[in-house]
């Protein structure tokens, strides 16, 4: 007979109701939640294979690519990073990584673990790279792969890519892009810009639960993958095998997370229904309204002007205000989750996400009103509804409402 008893009663878990306005995960659309509740079928069932085909086509739309090798890795965005790096880099290969935040730094670590000889160039948090910096770095340190983050989640910095892709190819290298926080939130033109490999995550602007990592590899990257002299260090993330499961022969590789794939297909269908241009405009409008509202009550932005993401804002915490005290109250009194700073910005910024389904005017004004209350109660002289009024003026001036 069993002698051990459970520590907790075997009752259903009931999560609290939250408004997810942090750096991820983001709130999901009801249709996505409903999709996850659908009955399971086998991962080789003809119906599931059909869903995989639909998902690939929808991913190609989101990435703006015709790449055949476009699929969803079973794992979070970090698994996407490991997949692309591990498949393109062999031991001894040279890789140049651009680091201006936590996730550029993580790419360095992943590449080193894959055996790459890594050179990194750095910019301060909140700044982005000038293309000439990368040109000069490649002259000094020729590389097989150049890695860069389009939307740095730790800082809210938005990196331009078009000219960098040209420079990378002129140097004979492959361009690898982290689009975890950018996919379906800001423009990402994989084919038009000549990006060779991209990885992303489901839990940001796609508004799908975390658990899958969309990736796409173009012809140059596939050629490099096929020309490998050594096996990919990770069996689980070896694209030469995974692509056979997502390809025409549906060769068994692993048991896919069925419900997560239901959710991703539904989230991507919502992206396609809204249209990328409308989705980008909605994120841009909500981000502008939030940032205008913050400025109206004297709260500065940590990321350099001209490089700020609309979907992730790093707001400077006013002097004398306790970071954690405000975030705890936002969560306790309004159910609002925002993120704290990372690395050198820990305790100095709030990271406010308006991603996917969360990029709505009601979330902007709810957050600003709640933040005003927190600040006033801590002794900051903030006029009532000043930031809400400023944000609403942005919305009122918009040609189209920021609906979902």
Q: Is residue 1 part of a domain?
A: no
Rounded to 10°, the helix 276-296/361-377 angle is 20
Residue 139: which pLDDT band, with cuts at 50, 70 and 90? very high
Residue 88's closest CA among 190, 207, 176, 11? 176
Q: How many domains does the chain have?
A: 2
Same domain, residue pair 349 and 260? no
For residue 319, give its domain range.
Answer: 275-397
Average pLDDT over residues 66-93: 97
Q: Is 134 among the domain residues?
A: yes
Please check whether residues 152 and 34 belong to one and the same domain: yes
CA distance 190 to 395: 31
pLDDT of 284-325, one tens digit each? 999 999 999 999 999 999 999 999 999 999 999 999 999 999
What would the two tokens of residue 9 be?
A: 């009663």
Indicate if 322 and 248 belong to the same structural domain: no
Do 268 and 222 lie in one domain? The reply is yes
> Do 261 and 376 belong together in one domain?
no
Here the CATH number for the domain that contains residue 177 is 3.40.640.10
Q: Is the pLDDT of residue 403 over 70?
A: no
pLDDT mean over 223-232:
97
Rounded-to-integer distance, Cα 102 and Cα 344, Å: 10
Q: Are residues 286 and 245 in the same domain?
A: no
Q: Mean pLDDT, the chain, as a whole number?
A: 96
At which of 273, 298, 313 does a domain end?
273
CA angle 14, 16, 18 (to 5 degrees): 140
Q: Has residue 3 been placed in a domain?
A: no
- The pLDDT tens digits of the residues spanning 142-177 come to 999 999 999 999 999 999 999 999 999 999 999 999
* 297 lies in some domain: yes
Nearest-5° angle of CA 149, CA 150, CA 152?
A: 65
- Note whether residue 197 is domain-resident: yes
Residues 263 and 294 both lie in one domain = no
SS (H, E, C) 283-341: HHHHHHHHHHHHHHCCCCECCCCCCECCCEEEEECCCCCCHHHHHHHHHHHHCEECEEC
pLDDT tens column, 240-269 = 999 998 987 778 889 899 999 999 999 999
Q: How far, in Å, CA of 167 to CA of 158, rounded? A: 19
Residue 242, in any domain of the structure: yes
Neighbouring CB atoms inside 10 A of 344's CB total: 14
Express each pLDDT in 40-63 by its tens digit.
Answer: 999 889 999 999 999 999 999 999
Q: What integer pLDDT is reported at residue 38 of this predicted model?
A: 97
Domain boundary, last residue among 273, 288, 311: 273
Span 177-183, average pLDDT? 98
Closest by CA to 165, choosing from 150, 185, 154, 152, is 150
Q: Tell me the average pLDDT across 98-117.
A: 97
Is residue 351 included in any domain, yes or no?
yes
What pLDDT does 400 receive? 67
Q: Which of 273, 293, 319 marks a domain boundary?
A: 273
Whole-prediction pTM? 0.96
Can you tell me the mean pLDDT for 357-365?
98
240 and 280 inside one domain: no
Mean pLDDT of 88-103: 98
Residue 15 lies in a domain: no
The answer for residues whose C-beta is within 8 angstroms of residue 246's C-beta and 6 or more apart is: 52, 56, 71
């Amino acid at each position: 007979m069993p002698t051990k008893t459970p520590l907790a009663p075997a009752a259903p878990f009931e999560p609290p109701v939250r408004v997810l306005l942090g750096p991820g995960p983001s709130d999901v659309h009801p249709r996505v939640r409903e999709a996850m509740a659908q009955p399971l079928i086998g991962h080789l069932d003809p119906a599931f294979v059909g869903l995989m085909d639909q998902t690939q086509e929808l991913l190609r739309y989101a990435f703006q690519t015709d790449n055949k090798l476009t699929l969803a890795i079973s794992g979070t965005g970090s698994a996407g990073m490991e997949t692309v790096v591990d498949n393109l880099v062999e031991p001894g290969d040279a890789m140049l990584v651009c680091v201006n935040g936590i996730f550029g730094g993580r790419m360095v670590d992943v590449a080193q673990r894959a055996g790459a000889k890594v050179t990194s160039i750095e910019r301060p948090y909140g700044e982005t790279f000038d293309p000439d910096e990368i040109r000069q770095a490649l002259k000094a340190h020729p590389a097989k792969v150049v890695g860069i983050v389009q939307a740095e989640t730790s800082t809210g910095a938005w990196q331009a890519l078009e000219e960098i892709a040209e420079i990378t190819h002129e140097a004979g290298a492959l361009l690898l892009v982290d689009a975890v926080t950018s996919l379906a939130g800001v423009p990402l033109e994989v084919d038009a810009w000549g990006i060779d490999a991209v990885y992303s995550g489901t839990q940001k602007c796609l508004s799908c639960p975390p658990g899958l990592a969309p990736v796409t590899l173009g012809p140059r990257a596939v050629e490099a993958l096929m020309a490998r002299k050594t096996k990919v260090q990770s069996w689980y993330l070896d694209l030469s095998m995974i692509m056979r499961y997502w390809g025409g022969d549906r060769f068994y590789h692993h048991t896919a997370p069925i419900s997560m794939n239901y959710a991703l297909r539904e989230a991507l269908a919502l992206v396609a229904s809204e249209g990328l241009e409308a989705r980008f405009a909605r994120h841009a409008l909500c981000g502008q309204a939030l940032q205008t509202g913050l400025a109206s009550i004297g709260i500065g932005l940590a990321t350099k002007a001209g490089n700020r993401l609309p979907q992730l804002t790093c707001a400077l915490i006013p002097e004398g205000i306790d970071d954690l005290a405000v975030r705890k109250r936002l969560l306790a009194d309004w159910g609002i989750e925002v993120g704290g700073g990372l690395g050198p910005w820990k305790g100095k910024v709030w990271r406010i996400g308006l991603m996917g389904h969360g990029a709505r005017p009601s979330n902007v004004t709810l957050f600003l009103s709640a933040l005003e209350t927190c600040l006033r109660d801590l002794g900051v002289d903030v006029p009532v509804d000043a930031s809400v009024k400023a944000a609403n003026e942005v919305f009122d001036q918009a040609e189209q409402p920021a609906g979902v």
